[in-house]
């Protein structure tokens, strides 16, 4: 029903000025802001509006059968509500979907900042001295060509551990040499925090900004922005190059408002790059229809194949898990694993189970910690595991992506659970064998009965390895 209306009412960005005026206000460039987010007085704003550096626009569109929030693109009726608004004295509609970023009310306009500023031109900004593998180089060349033309879309399908960040360097260099503005958007805050210093190191002279929910920098006044996908809610036709990392990951996958925001954040003429290790149906379909150009990188940067998961049927698994325990033979397997050098990464389907199994293993005498999405000490616990301060990390699907450890075995407990879909299992398997020093690593899926998701994951990994061999 909803998609029917959306198809009838395509995303319309005609409300964003087509010929933005040039100006020197870098902090307003390409922004879409509420009045209180603008760092200028009301009097200054009036001048900026007269000069068309700021453009006032309606915040919530009223259509015949639906409303649309112009900041987040929400059209779902239950995500709009009314408020007896004391300030204007009327009953006002507001958007509940993006209220986390400040309330959008129908009686208050949004302001669009003209994106027409001259960003600096950097000469040879990249100081990274590594070399790309032939697979990486091909992808890098394709992206550089895309950035040069500054229009179109391209998908990089790279296995976990292919070194996709380095693949972007030549294209980013090209963009910075020509005064273009870049945004790298990724679903998770952890990844923004990890990427920004890495990119800053590779591009030391370039002004970068990291934006996420509670980032110290709120402004993002830089030619190179690294942000969570949600931060795109505050941009309108701002970027010449938009890179969307992990297109297949929650929340970008499944949230139509983020797609709306991404489309709006890119300029009308922009290069849009998608990165994934595990494309979803939508992307695969576009690949088959050849409507989305793609470059595969089927090989890891160290040249070794991906570890193929081994399925382990464990009929008594649920009974043990319900008692907060692990079956005897799994415990024996862990004991054997623990005699090796490698650390162990255990995935469980829920926070509760992860905590229970962590305390069970602790009672059994192991050095173990658990970490999950709502854990305030997440970053420290991950870092101390990386420093090898303890041996077993029990976690949920939050660690399936982005986070890497040099030398681990990976066991998934109750791999048939719905949270472990094909993409999750491929990503989880990709945690093993990440370093050139220890390129292998054992991946085991403990289950009470094979699922299609497990079989598809194994098949996808084998296929990638086969493609990798051909190179």
Q: Footprint of Zn ion on this chain (CB under 5 A)?
A: 69, 71-72, 74, 85, 88, 92, 95, 97-98, 107
For other proteins, the closer CB: 88 or 335 = 88
302 binds, among Zn ion, other proteins, none (CB under 5 to 8 A by kind): none
Q: Which of 244, 253, 264 is nearest to 184 (CA)?
A: 244
C-alpha 117: how far from chain center = 28
For other proteins, the closer CB: 124 or 418 = 418
103 binds, among Zn ion, other proteins, none (CB under 5 to 8 A by kind): other proteins
For Zn ion, the closer CB: 108 or 245 = 108
* In the complex, minimum distance from the CB of residue 309 to other proteins, in angstroms, rounded to a whole number: 31
Q: Where are the alpha helices (DSSP H) in 346-421?
A: 351-363, 378-386
Among 100, 118, 322, 469, binds other proteins (CB under 8 A): 100
Among the candidate windows 100-108, 162-170, 308-316, 341-349, which touches other proteins by CB under 8 A?
100-108
* In the complex, minimum distance from the CB of residue 391 to Zn ion, in angstroms, rounded to a whole number: 37
Among the candidate windows 94-102, 222-230, 268-276, 359-367, which touches other proteins by CB under 8 A?
94-102
172: its two tokens: 């980013």
For other proteins, the closer CB: 96 or 284 = 96
- Asked if residues 236 and 18 have their Cβ atoms less than 8 Å apart, the reply is no
Tell how many helices (H) and how many strands (E) occur in the chain.
13, 20
Q: Is 105 in the site for other proteins (CB under 8 A)?
A: yes
Binding mask 21-40 for other proteins (x = CB under 8 A): --------------------
Q: Is 352 in the site for other proteins (CB under 8 A)?
A: no
3-state helix, strand, coil in the chain (%, to 5): 35, 20, 45
For other proteins, the closer CB: 92 or 457 = 92
Among the candidate windows 92-100, 339-347, 417-425, 453-461, which touches other proteins by CB under 8 A?
92-100
433 sits in the region (left: phi over 0; alpha: psi -120 to 50; else beta) called left
78 binds, among other proteins, Zn ion, none (CB under 5 to 8 A by kind): other proteins
156: its two tokens: 């990089």
94 binds, among Zn ion, other proteins, none (CB under 5 to 8 A by kind): other proteins
* In the complex, minimum distance from the CB of residue 79 to Zn ion, in angstroms, rounded to a whole number: 8
CA dist 409 to 153, 372, 431, 441, 463, Å?
36, 19, 8, 5, 22
Residue 436: DSSP 8-state: S
Sheet of strand 343-347: strand arrangement = 310-313, 443-447, 408-413, 343-347, 392-395, 368-371
* In the complex, minimum distance from the CB of residue 270 to Zn ion, in angstroms, rounded to a whole number: 23
Peptide bond into 251 cis (omega under 30): yes
For other proteins, the closer CB: 119 or 260 = 260
84 binds, among Zn ion, other proteins, none (CB under 5 to 8 A by kind): other proteins
User: What is the footprint of other proteins within residues 68-87 (CB under 8 A)?
Assistant: 78-79, 81-87
Q: What's the chain's Rg over C-alpha atoms?
A: 24
Q: Is 96 in the site for other proteins (CB under 8 A)?
A: yes
Which H, E and C letters describe 243-306, residue by residue? Answer: EECCCCCCCCCCCHHHHHHHHHHEEEEEEEEEEECCCCHHHHHHHHCCCCCEEEECCCCCCCCC
316: its two tokens: 């008594």
Looking at the DSSP bridge assignments, the partners of residue 266 are 239
Looking at the DSSP bridge assignments, the partners of residue 368 are 392
Q: Is 99 in the site for other proteins (CB under 8 A)?
A: yes
Only one residue has tokens 């660690």, namely: 399
Q: Where are the alpha helices (DSSP H) in 23-130?
A: 42-50
82 binds, among Zn ion, other proteins, none (CB under 5 to 8 A by kind): other proteins
Among the candidate windows 91-99, 124-132, 135-143, 169-177, which touches other proteins by CB under 8 A?
91-99
- Asked if residues 181 and 236 have their Cβ atoms less than 8 Å apart, the reply is no
For other proteins, the closer CB: 96 or 386 = 96
For other proteins, the closer CB: 33 or 445 = 33
**Which residues bind to other proteins, rule: CB under 8 A?**
78-79, 81-87, 92, 94, 96, 99-100, 102-103, 105
């Amino acid at each position: 029903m909803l998609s029917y209306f959306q198809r009838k009412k395509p995303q319309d960005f005609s409300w964003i000025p087509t010929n933005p005026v040039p100006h020197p206000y870098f902090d307003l460039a390409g922004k879409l802001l509420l009045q209180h987010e603008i760092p200028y007085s009301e009097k200054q704003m009036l001048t900026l509006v007269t000069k068309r550096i700021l453009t006032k626009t309606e915040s919530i569109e009223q259509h015949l059968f639906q409303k649309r929030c112009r900041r987040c693109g929400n059209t779902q009726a239950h995500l709009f509500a009314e408020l007896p608004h004391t300030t204007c004295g009327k009953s006002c509609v507001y958007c509940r979907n993006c209220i986390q970023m400040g309330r959008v009310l129908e009686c208050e306009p949004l302001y669009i900042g003209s994106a027409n500023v001259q960003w600096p031109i950097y000469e040879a900004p990249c100081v990274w001295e590594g070399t790309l593998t032939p697979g990486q180089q091909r992808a890098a060349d394709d992206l550089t060509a895309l950035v040069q033309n500054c229009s179109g879309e391209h998908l990089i399908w790279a296995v976990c551990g292919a070194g996709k960040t380095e693949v972007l360097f030549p294209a980013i260099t090209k963009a910075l040499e020509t005064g273009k503005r870049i945004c790298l958007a990724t679903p998770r805050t952890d990844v923004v925090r990890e990427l920004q210093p890495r990119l800053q190191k590779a591009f030391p002279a370039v002004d970068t900004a990291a934006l996420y929910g509670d980032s110290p920098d709120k402004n993002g006044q830089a030619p190179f922005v690294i942000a969570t996908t949600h931060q795109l809610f505050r941009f309108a036709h701002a970027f010449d190059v938009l890179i969307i990392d992990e297109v297949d990951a929650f929340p970008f996958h499944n949230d139509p408002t983020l797609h709306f925001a991404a489309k709006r954040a890119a300029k009308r003429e922009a290069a849009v790059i998608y990165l994934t290790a595990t494309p979803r149906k939508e992307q695969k379909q576009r690949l088959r229809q050849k409507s989305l150009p793609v470059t595969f990188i089927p090989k890891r940067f160290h040249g070794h194949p991906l570890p193929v998961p081994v399925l382990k049927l464990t009929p008594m698994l649920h009974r043990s898990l319900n008692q907060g325990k692990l079956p005897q033979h799994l415990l024996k397997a862990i004991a054997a694993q623990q005699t090796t050098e490698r650390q162990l990464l255990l995935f469980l389907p829920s926070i509760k189970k992860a905590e229970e199994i962590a305390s069970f293993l602790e009672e059994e005498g192991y050095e173990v910690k658990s970490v999950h999405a709502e854990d305030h000490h997440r970053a420290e616990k991950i870092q101390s595991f990386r420093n090898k301060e303890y041996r077993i990390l029990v976690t949920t699907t939050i660690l399936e992506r982005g986070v890497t450890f040099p030398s681990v075995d990976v066991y998934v407990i109750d791999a048939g659970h719905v949270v472990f879909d094909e993409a999750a299992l491929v990503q989880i398997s990709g945690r093993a064998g990440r370093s050139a020093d220890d390129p292998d690593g054992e991946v085991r899926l403990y289950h009470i009965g094979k699922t299609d998701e497990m079989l598809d994951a194994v098949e996808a990994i084998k296929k990638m390895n086969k493609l990798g061999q051909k190179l």
